[in-house]
Amino acid sequence: MKTCANLTMLFTELPFLERFGAAKSAGFDAVEVLFPYDVAVPDMLDMLGRNGLPLALINCPPPNYTGGERGFAAVVGARFQQDFIRAARYAKALGAQHLHIMAGAAEGAAARACFVENLRWAAAEAPHQSLTIEPINCDDMPGYFLSDFDEGKAIVQEVGAPNLRLQFDAYHAQKITGDVLGTWAKVRDVVAHVQVGQTPDRTAPDQGEIDYDALFARLKKDGYKGWISGEYTPADRTEMSLDWIK
């Protein structure tokens, strides 16, 4: 397993720039940061380089500080292209392997067409950047357009870009389908990045609804080569929640 720490959610007992060293000391192989846009690029590059950690993923678009929706690639009339260019610039500067494009809250055929069009444009605009889309359950993000794994796979295939793949979050898969292993089996051929957290409360991937021993064994059996990122909220200090990476 190539393990990755989501520094937006893990090691939050430390100042942000100290989390890189903590992740390295804990045995992680990479890190991801959901929204790094408030941090100076040279400072993040320094921490990544000093600790020998690649940056696995960041999110697009940058956060909306006026309280608007997070993401709008499927929202007709939104300013997707302008913000994508900014996010892609950050991803390139930081060496982020994946850039997750968030769909936003929308519904219907027009939203789907908008999403596909924006994804095709983004894939052509940044042909050397790996892009992902992620089904997110509507309990956590009500109205989120992409809340179905079959639809996520269908959209990836319809866009048909070699640099667009699916992001598989086991927490969301369990919340949406109740069958993590079955969902993985259906979409694994288009998955580029895996995230883990336990249901129902997005805690550490130990005891709970999801059998993570079985999932990790299945990922290994199926030859998954990408990152497995811990994206969850520890109940106590992060170090006490890391048995899963061993």
| Active-site residue set | 134, 231
SS3 state at 144 = strand
Is the separation of the CB atoms in 155 and 122 below 8 Å?
A: no
CA–CA distance, 204 with 238 (Å, rounded to integer) = 9
SS3 state at 100 = strand
Strand-strand pairing, 164-169 and 191-196 = parallel
Chain-centre distance for alpha carbon 196: 10
Residue showing tokens 């079955």: 182
Amino acid at 72: F
The answer to whether the Cα torsion of 133, 134, 137, 140 is positive or negative is negative
Sequence-separated (6 or more) residues with CB below 8 Å from residue 166: 132, 133, 134, 135, 149, 152, 153, 156, 187, 190, 191, 192
Q: What is the dihedral of CA 191, 193, 197, 199, to 10 degrees?
A: -20
Chain-centre distance for alpha carbon 111: 21
CA–CA distance, 129 with 234 (Å, rounded to integer) = 31
